[in-house]
Structure 1
Amino acid sequence: MDPVLRELVERGGGLVTRTLAGQVVPEWTLRRACARGDLVRVLPEVYAAANLLLPATPEVPLVSRLDPVVGHRAALAWARGRAVLSHLSALDAWGLHRQTVGAPLHLAAPVAAGIRTRPGVVVHRLRGLTREPGEVRRRGGLSVLRLERTLVDSWPLLPAADRRAPVIRAVNDRMTTPERLVTALADAPRIAHRADLRTLLRRLAEGCRSPLEIWGHERVFTAPGMPRFRRQARVRVGRRTMYLDLFAERERVDVELDGAASHGDPRQREVDLRRDALLATVGILVVRFSHRRLVHESDAVRRETLAILATRRDAPRRDPIADG
């Protein structure tokens, strides 16, 4: 490849546009690089270094054979400021769900932008879309649709088993709130599987912070006889602040739901034991249920919890601790 063109491609992270190349080298230099197999036209006016193309079946568009990180830049270069990353591409840019090689890239554009879907790139034409900071953000140097709209728009495009994780993580990492997502959902009245997303947002607003907690809430800990647990209750003991999964304040019982990932980890077990001992110094009994028991022995977990709570109601009570 021509040295000047090679340097331009390297500076572009493996990409170059026809317009940019034309500013430094003759047109035939770009054509020759393509003929020799050094560059590949992945989108109109956009070229990528051939060694960036990943193996795929012949029917996969060339732009979809790029690593999505590169593919996103290629799609935006093709759009020339008329569109931003959206849906699953924006979800990838937000770091909440990795887009796979071979999948189509997603852009959102105003209705009047004059840009349309083509092989490898799905263009969603959105009425009222503007490039104002409230609607479009910058992530890793890329223009991306705001997080709340991204999560709502991506919901029906993900496999059912994968839909909850990005929403839960975004809330847990304080990237957004259930309330802001509820507002975004209200602006998308026709989204598929809307009821399931609304239910998840309600559970997150109630304090559930994992799929296991949601399972427990829906199938175990809202059964008849159960108290109104405080979820993610903030408790301070000495200089340490802790958050309790399910706290029965009257009985002073903390029900902890241990995820499958923590099962069998001796280091995590030691951390849990120290935490439980500290809570015991202020009269809080910690009861732990494993992922396996909660899912496969729900009836037994429910009975045990009710029995423990009944016993604790008659136990002498201590002065309440400072919590929030």
Structure 2
Amino acid sequence: MNPVLMELVGRGGGLVTRATAVQVVPEWTLERACHVGDLVRVLPEVFAAAHLLADRPCRAVPAIGRLDPELGRRAVLAWADGRGALSHLCALAAWGLHRQAAGDLLHLSVPAGVSLRSRPGVAVHRRQGLVLEPPHVMVRRGLAVTRIEPALVDSWPILPPGERRAPVIQAVNDRLTTPERLEVALGASPRLNGRVAFRTLLRRLAEGCRSPLEIWGHERVFTGPGMPRFRRQVPIRLGSRTVYLDLYAEPERVNIELDGATTHGDPHQREIDLRRDAQLAALGILVVRFAHRRLVHEIEEVRRETLAILSTRRPDTSVPPTAAVVPSHRWQFSGPTRRRQAS
């Protein structure tokens, strides 16, 4: 490859556009690099170093799909040349909420009047009212991307059903957004596939659930007759740090902790949990832990145990007859009226 062109490709992280290349080398130099196999045209006017493309025997995979997903996203923006922003799953990847694989479809959103069209490996979405500047478009990891709320809403129907909730939950946990802001974004997509399930998830997050296991517990285990109104993710100060209680029955001072499958068998995490539980016990808070396996497979038994524990922690407000206060005088009844006489 021509040394000047090679340096230009290196500065571009493996990519170069025709417009950039012809500023420093003749156009035939670029064409020759493609002819001998040093460069590969991955999108109109966008070229990548050939050694960066994965070897894929299937011809159905477009050249853009043979790039590493991060390089593919950069190539799409180079093709857009300021006329669009990464959206859908591409935006989620830039926000750190989704991991794309080589060959996954890349998504670009553009204003309604832009003439870019979808191509093999790239889906172009036209959006009325989209403005390619904040707050509609943000820069994330050096890439122009749509805001996190529309990115989550747009991605919901194209993710497999079992993978839809995780990015939403992580975004709220990482304080990138709130259930309320997501509710507003959902309102702009009245025909979204899976809208009811999305709204249910937002309601659970607004109620304080912060993991799929907590949502399962809320919907299947810790609701129903006899169960108190648990507070969720209650902050408690322990020395110099703040911990958050999964479920807290305040009158009974009982903290229910839902231990996920990933923490099972981790000695270090177990030691941290024991120290935390001991500190809470010093504050008069009883910690009860249920493992993932029991929460999923022993629902009724977990419910019975929880109700039994709560019943032992409730103060008995009834006053039995033998414990009644005996006054220092007694009552004497005379006819329909009652008179108090000294003993």
Please report the TM-score for the alignment, with normalisation by the length of structure 1. Answer: 0.96
Give me the whole-angstrom Cα distance separating, in 1, the residues matched to 2:114 and 2:219: 45
Cα distance in 2 for residues equivalent to 1:29 and 1:36 = 11
Report whether the alignment pairs 1:93 with 2:94: yes
Q: Which amino acid aligns with 1:191?
A: L
CA displacement 1:241-298 (0-9 Å, x = unmatched) = 2210000001100000000000000110010000000000111000000000000101
Is 2:260 the partner of 1:259?
Answer: yes
Check the 8 A contact 2:83/2:132 in 1, yes or no: no
**SS where residue 70 of structure 2 aligns?**
helix
User: Partner residue of 1:319?
Assistant: none
Q: Deviations over 1:32-66 (max 9, x none)?
A: 11111100000110000001111332101101111
Match of 2:42 in 1: 42
Q: Any idea what SS the aligned residue of 2:177 has?
A: coil
Name 1:25's counterpart in structure 2: 25
Identity of aligned residues (%): 69
**Correspondence list, 1:207-226, <5 A:** 207-226=208-227
Structure 1 CA distance, aligned partners of 2:241 and 2:123?
49
Counterpart AA for 1:231: R
* Pairwise CA distance, 1:141: 1.3
Alignment correspondent of 1:103: 104
Within the alignment, does 1:10 sit opposite 2:6 as a pair?
no
Deviations, residues 207-258 of structure 1 (Å, cap 9, x unaligned):
0000000000000111211000000011224444221000000110000000
1:261 partner SS: helix
Distance in structure 2 (CA, Å) of the matches to 1:95 and 1:121: 20
> Offset at 1:99?
1.1
- Give 1:120 deviation, angstroms: 1.0
Contact kept? 2:139, 2:145, Cα under 8 Å = yes
Structure 2 matches for 1:161-172, cutoff 5 A?
161-172=162-173
Alignment of 1:1-324 (within 5 A): 1-56=1-56, 57-314=58-315
Which amino acid letter does the alignment assign opposite residue 198 of structure 1? Answer: R
- Matched with 1:321 is none
Asked which structure has the greater CA Rg, the reply is 2
CA, structure 1 residues 223+170, in 2 after alignment: closer, same or farther (shift >3 Å)?
A: same
**Offset, 1:314:** 3.3
Separation (CA, whole Å) in 1 of partners of 2:316 and 2:297? 31
SS in 2 for 1:123: strand
Partners of 1:102 and 1:137 lie apart in 2 by: 25
Q: What is the aligned residue count?
A: 316
| Distance in 1 (alpha carbons) for counterparts of 2:297 and 2:290 | 11
Q: 1:238 to 1:74 in 2, by over 3 A?
A: closer
